[in-house]
Amino acid sequence: MEFSSQIARMLHDEHMTELARFERLQSELLRQGPGSPPSEPDGSLTALLINLAAEGAPSARHFDFEEAEVFPRLATQGETAIGSLLSDEHVTIREIGDTIATLAGTARRDGFTADSWREFHRLGMELTERTISHIQKEEMGLLPMVEEMLEEDEDSQLALAYMASR
């Protein structure tokens, strides 16, 4: 989808980056399977573990910005349901992401045990499914609303604020 507002395009671009990251995670988890941990992570799994240990769930900055700037603007226009739903999803995704980041960091340092791999696999699949579904909701619901609600000057202010938060 093409977006005309700066902030919708910025959020969309981050969604596409996150979507690719979590599709890679899903692919690696499906390739390895839940049964037994990788004896030694190969290059793609190692890179993924490094990324997950550092990044965890989708960007906290992205979620924080939506919760502080976007959802309140929607609420002033009477659109509270989507902000509430997406905020609840942010909480769950953050919690799972924090656990994944911890497990990934430990695995990078010490490797996986059978139990830690099963937990990592289970949570990784859950995080992937939740994140992809969340992105789809934002792409189909939130971003079109943002497009409609923002005047050009407000869009520019939001885009500058978002860039400054990086």
| CATH number, position 67 | 1.20.120.520
User: In this predicted structure, what is the pLDDT of residue 90?
Assistant: 96
- Rounded to an integer, what is the distance from CA 61 to the centroid of its chain? 10
Boundaries of domain holding 111: 6-164
Quick check: is 137 in a domain? Answer: yes
Continuous H helices in the chain: 6-32, 43-55, 60-65, 71-76, 81-110, 114-137, 143-149, 152-164
Lowest mean pLDDT among 19-28, 46-55, 83-92, 145-154: 46-55
User: Would the pLDDT of 56 be above 90?
Assistant: no
User: Would the pLDDT of 70 be above 70?
Assistant: yes
Name the residue among 91, 94, 118 with its Cα closest to residue 107: 118
Kindly report the average pLDDT of the chain as a whole number.
89
Work out the pLDDT band at 49, boundaries 50, 70, 90. Answer: confident
Number of domains in the chain: 1
In the chain, the N- to C-terminal Cα span, in Å, equals 24
Work out the pLDDT band at 31, boundaries 50, 70, 90. Answer: confident
Total-model pTM: 0.89
d(CA 53, CA 70): 28
Quick check: is 153 in a domain? Answer: yes
More confident residue, 36 or 43: 36
Quick check: is 67 in a domain? Answer: yes
Q: Are 100 and 127 in contact (CB under 8 A)?
A: yes
Quick check: is 129 in a domain? Answer: yes
More confident residue, 84 or 50: 84
Quick check: is 141 in a domain? Answer: yes
Quick check: is 65 in a domain? Answer: yes
Quick check: is 102 in a domain? Answer: yes
User: Would the pLDDT of 36 be above 90?
Assistant: no
Quick check: is 1 in a domain? Answer: no
